[in-house]
Structure 1
Amino acid sequence: MARAQGARAQMALAFETTYGTPPASGYTKMPFASTTLGSEQPLQTSELLGYGRDPQAPIKDAVTADGNVVVPIDADAFGFWLKAGFGAPSTTGAEAPYTHTFTSGNWALPSFSVETGMPEVPRYAMYSGCMVDSLSWQMARSGLLTATVSLVAQGEEVDTVSAAGVPAPITLQRFGHFNGAVTRNGADIGNVVSADITYANNLDRIETIRADGKIDGADPSIAALTGNIVVRFADQTLVQQAINGEACALEFTYTLATGESLTLTAHAVYLPRPRVEISGPQGVQATFDWQAASDPNEGHMCTVALINDREAY
């Protein structure tokens, strides 16, 4: 008997025309490291009395479908997750390389279907009505660069054959931590140890009464772009900005030698005044838990620019 192995698992994604209806074709094979995406339906314990000490049969509760997908940050496939999280990009360029620009604040976010497959069982789970609740990653000096995508789905359908057909392949060009840089108002920030970035759509599930127990959709509410920067304490620049209550532009960039790049620009970032502790003889570090807000000049909170050879998303 064949047993499920993570090494043989696969994932395919396609954007939906109608919410909750998986497309018949147009799927793309997505690279991923792990996923907790799944559907569950808990049981409600019977509260009835008069039948002795042994309880009556439990009742099925509403269906919940959600989870996280850990994906590599690369020059091609990551654009699909950016489109899901920010909305369709504005693409420029008559020929490759193309620049895909995503902006925050879109009210209409696309829904999509994701199929995860374990062909040796076989088990293929199609999750329809998926939307991105949050997208986060960490910048560091070394290690594998991945992002965590938090999804809210409408439901799950399981079959023994794939409904995605033969998904289109992806040419994987991963960014690494070595390719990263952080700038403040266009100038390099020295002594950065690590940085965390989280963009959240803060989806509001539409939990209407339905016979199938599924949600009717998920509406984006007030977005949030937050994170932190850990720096070796060397000067008062960031502390003084925090004290003054001023905003700055933070830019997080990855660039490959072949020209592909990914840049997230938070246009108006506010810093809290941190506690600067001397914990021992080693270097002193300070952590700034920053928050971004809408910039009156740009008209939005952040911009993400992805430069690659893909013509459209």
Structure 2
Amino acid sequence: MTFRVLSGLDCELFGRLESGAIGTPAAGDYLRLPFTSHGLSGRIGKETSDLLGQGRDPTDPDRGDETVDGDIAVPMDVRGTGFWLALLLGLPTTAASKAYGSVTFGADPRAGDTVTLDGTVFTFVSGAPATATEVQTGANLLASVTALAAAANASVVAEVAAATYTVGDGVRLDIQHDTSGASGAEYSLAASAATVSGATLTATYTHTYGSGCSASDIRRATMVIRSTPAALTWRQLGVWMTRAQLALASTGRASLTASLIAHREDEVVSAALGDVVTHAYQRFLQAQGSLLVDGQQVAEITASSMVYDNSLSGVRSLGYGGRIADIDVATAKLDGTITARFGSGTLKSRAESDTPVDLLYRWQPSPGAALSIAYPRVWLPKPQRSISGPAGVEASYAWMAAKRQAAGAVTTAAAMTAVLTNDVASYAP
């Protein structure tokens, strides 16, 4: 038998939310999950023998309990993130949103090139437009796409006027239908010298997740990590997410670190994954993100992080072989940090006034793809400042979030609400 070293390059990760009894693998079609590191694994320790009267040399150790836990780092991507949010916060409330599509140009359009928007043909011309459907080519690609968006937005043709047109990344015409629901997905697209996102607009959905769900709404999953070249497959059953951490910076790629515990891990010859669902991969980039304080962009902020601790602890019950059979839930903890240039700015004044602020983290690479995480009630401490040189001084605010609660009410608005917009119809198992 040829020995093959396990390589991270060859590993694939799959997951599906469970709905059956603990220890029963989730049945159905699994989702292929992008990841950047994987530490979820089972281990069984050894316990030193406590026998006496056997001499000074130790006797055989006893088998310890099985523990399955670890972290998985995953990219924040437009579609896969919904699975991890469901594992953390429970299933979302999903509603139809506005259909979205795009026309992407690889080069500056030339005279005679056409773009057809739901049956209306727009033609690029080199001179001044003579009709409402002619678009003058610009000095560069951005100018040409901007002119196309302006012409489409000004159109009085009912089918064209039923959508809104914007410029994406300087090379793309983004199209979002003005009406939510499936009817917008009937809007057709075509182009003679550009790439359309599809023959029609794509139906989109908003998935709304709220913190503080009841214990019965917390979901568990079956996870499978495999390496086909090394002929190795591990399956973790009854996986719960205990903690999630996310950082926001001015550059780089957005990633989430999920801390997990599980009922058990099996090494299997193969795992039934059904018809694996592989979503088109589109990552949220940090440059596409923003952090709003009370609805306003604050220039002094340079970085931020957020942590959601589910406060879950495993319960080892009799009859389960020493494994975790269920979870206990406690009060969730929502906190994070904001790093900012220290001065007479918004954060300093709000911290000193001891009044809560509203934080909104959001990423939106296009109208049909977005993620927002809202904390309506965040408390900022007065930070310690440190001056160590001639450069600008930074301060770190370790914030804490709480739910918005009316007088006499037990539950009101969630302490955190995440809204994901994409073309996935459902995350339910």
TM-score of the two chains, using structure 2 as the length reference:
0.71
Listed as ranges, the gaps of 5+ residues in structure 2 are 97-180, 183-202, 407-411
Distance 1:100 1:242 in 2: 33
The 1-side partners of 2:74 and 2:33 are apart by 8
More displaced stretch, 93-102 vs 108-117: 93-102
Segments of 5+ residues of structure 1 without an aligned counterpart are: none
| Separation of aligned partners in 2, 1:239 and 1:168 | 47
The reply on whether 1:265 has 2:370 as its aligned counterpart is no
- Matched with 1:180 is 289
1:117–1:162 CA contact under 8 A, matched in 2: no
CA contact (8 A) 1:184 1:248 kept: yes
CA distance in 1, matches of 2:296, 2:237: 43
Q: Quick one: which of 124, 132, 141 aligns to 2:241?
A: 132
CA distance in 2, matches of 1:145, 1:104: 21
Q: Is the 8 A contact 2:298 2:346 kept in 1?
A: no
Match of 1:101 in 2: 208
Give the residue type in structure 1 aligned to 2:15: L
| Aligned-pair Cα RMSD in Å | 1.4
Q: Provide Cα deviations, 1:258-278, integer angstroms capped at 9, x if missing partner.
A: 531100001100011101222
Match of 1:282 among 391, 394, 399: 391
1:138 positional shift: 0.7
Match of 2:343 among 234, 239, 246: 234
Could you say which structure has the larger radius of gyration?
2
From 235, 247, 253, give the equivalent of 2:356: 247
SS at match of 2:260: strand
One of 218, 224, 229 as aligned partner of 1:120: 229
SS of the equivalent of 2:350 reads helix
Q: Out of 253, 265, 287, which is 1:144 matched to?
A: 253
3-state SS of 1:7 partner: helix
1:225 Cα deviation (Å)? 1.1
- Measure the CA separation in 2 of the matches of 1:165 and 1:257: 32
Q: Secondary structure at the match of 2:334?
A: strand
Query: Alpha-carbon deviation of 1:143?
Result: 2.0
Equivalent residue, structure 2, for 1:73 = 76
Deviations 1:48-102 (A, max 9, x none): 1211121111111211111111000011000000011011111111342211100
Q: Which range moved further: 136-145 or 124-133?
A: 136-145
| SS of residue matched to 1:75 | coil
Q: Residues 58 and 287 from structure 1, CA distance in 2 versus in 1: closer, same or farther, beyond 3 angstroms?
A: same
Which stretches of structure 1, 4 residues or longer, exceed 4 Å deviation after superposition?
Answer: none
What is the rounded CA distance, in whole Å, between the counterparts of 1:253 and 1:211 in structure 2? 43
Q: Distance in 1 between matches of 2:388 and 2:355?
A: 29
Q: Which amino acid aligns with 2:413?
A: G
Q: 1:208 corresponds to which residue?
A: 317
- In terms of mean alpha carbon deviation, does 281-290 or 165-174 score higher? 165-174
Provide Cα deviations, 1:100-124, integer angstroms capped at 9, x if missing partner: 1000010120111000001122111
- CA drift of 1:209 comes to 2.7
Equivalent residue pairs, number: 313
Measure how far apart 1:237 and its partner are. 2.5
Separation in 2, partners of 1:212, 1:179 = 48
Counterpart-to-counterpart distance in 2, 1:165 and 1:132: 24
Percent identity over the alignment is 30
State how far apart, in whole Å, the 2-side matches of 1:267 and 1:67 are. 31
Distance in 1, Cα, partners of 2:347 & 2:5: 54
Residue pair 1:134, 1:200 contacting (<8 A) in 2 also: yes
Match of 2:33 among 23, 30, 33: 30
> 1:234, 1:53 → 2: CA distance?
67
**Which of 293, 304, 312 is the aligned partner of 2:402?**
293
Distance in 2 between the 1:53 and 1:208 partners?
35
